[in-house]
Amino acid sequence: MSEKISLAHGDGGELAHQLIQEVFVSAFEHHEHARLDAALLHVPSNKLAISTDSFVIKPVFFPGGNIGKLAIVGTVNDIAVSGAEPLYMTVGFILEEGFLIKDLKEIVTAMAEEAKKANVKIVAGDTKVVERGSVDGIFINTTGVGVIKEENFLPRKIKEGDSVIISGTIGDHGVAILSARGELGLLTDLESDCACLNRLIDDIMSASNKVKIMRDPTRGGVATTLVEICEDFKVAIEIREDDLPIKPEVEGACDLLGFEPLYLANEGKLLVIVAKEDEAKVLEVMKKHELGIDATSIGHVVEQGEGKLFLKMTLGSRRRLNRLSGIQLPRIC
């Protein structure tokens, strides 16, 4: 096989067949589900969760992962935070003429490894090759299918007093990507938090039936995600500035560049709203998991201010937070 992607790799002929066999099938395997034009799936539930996402991150390789790992993580987490068990996934690649085959193999290998860790099968896919300059190397689309157990049906009614928990430090992914670009002179060893959350979520759902809603705060960060919850479910939430877990590297980068950590992207963090009486139980379970060691309560649902998110400041005052306006960092996922 040649070292670089050519237009012939996307024409459906012999080179396309070689690419599929030597890169994709060797990594993703050839499951029985994938032997027809459409994957035939067995699902142990009447209630399905389906999510799709496209990944165009720059750079393609970054500390803590690459676009392939991110494509698996992003879709697995979107399914899992809905209370569903992710089972199957489809993958679509758009490749630029000249993209290195060795880089594609590294990306596909990372996808296969992450899917295996999440116990998700990749059952269908597609590859297109476009002329040089039409895309930035590689774009990936993933669609996930999961099943919802009746007892895990979310969301449940959010009430005054419910606790807001975050699984760990915020803004790590955004700063790691910014550093990897090297555009603003930011030097840090910080790695992206890119990780599948479905195992952590399984533990939480097994420990408590009073979880009201879960979200992974990706683009727009923690603040935008909570604003959307406030607006969608007509509640008000107050988070405490003093309790926000932020690594010194993220604080330093934000101070230097004028960014707000609450709006930076995360790719392996979980927001949980749970009844106050189960807060300690959920925190205990989360802290036992490697992805929840730094879990902490950051706020609660308050009585007044329907549809609004508030930040209680260190000095006691509070201000309203709105969704991210404009673009803080482009192409972060």
**pLDDT > 70? residue 197:** yes
Residue 138 pLDDT grade (very low, low, confident, very high; cuts 50, 70, 90): very high
Helix (H, G, I), strand (E, B) or coil at 240: strand
Residue 326 pLDDT grade (very low, low, confident, very high; cuts 50, 70, 90): confident
- Cα torsion through 130, 132, 136, 138, rounded to 10: 40
**pLDDT > 80? residue 119:** yes
The predicted pLDDT at position 146 comes to 96
Helix (H, G, I), strand (E, B) or coil at 253: helix
Mean pLDDT of 175-185: 83
The boundaries of every CATH 3.90.650.10 domain in the chain are 162-321
pLDDT digits (tens, 9 = 90+) for 17-51: 899 999 999 999 877 776 778 888 888 878 999 99
Residue 150 pLDDT grade (very low, low, confident, very high; cuts 50, 70, 90): confident
Question: Across-strand partners of 144?
Answer: 51, 89
The answer to whether 245 and 169 are in contact (CB under 8 A) is: yes
The boundaries of every CATH 3.30.1330.10 domain in the chain are 4-148
pLDDT digits (tens, 9 = 90+) for 84-111: 999 999 999 999 999 999 999 999 999 9
Write b or e for each residue in 282-296: b if 16 or more Cβ atoms lie within 10 A of its Cβ, otherwise e. Answer: bbebbeebebbeebb
How many CB atoms within 10 Å of residue 256?
11
Residue 237 pLDDT grade (very low, low, confident, very high; cuts 50, 70, 90): very high
Residues 4-148, CATH architecture? 2-Layer Sandwich (3.30)
- Note if the pTM is more than 0.85: yes
Tokens of 213: 């809603």
The answer to whether 198 and 80 are in contact (CB under 8 A) is: yes
Q: Yes or no: is domain 162-321 CATH 3.40.50.300?
A: no
The predicted pLDDT at position 184 comes to 65
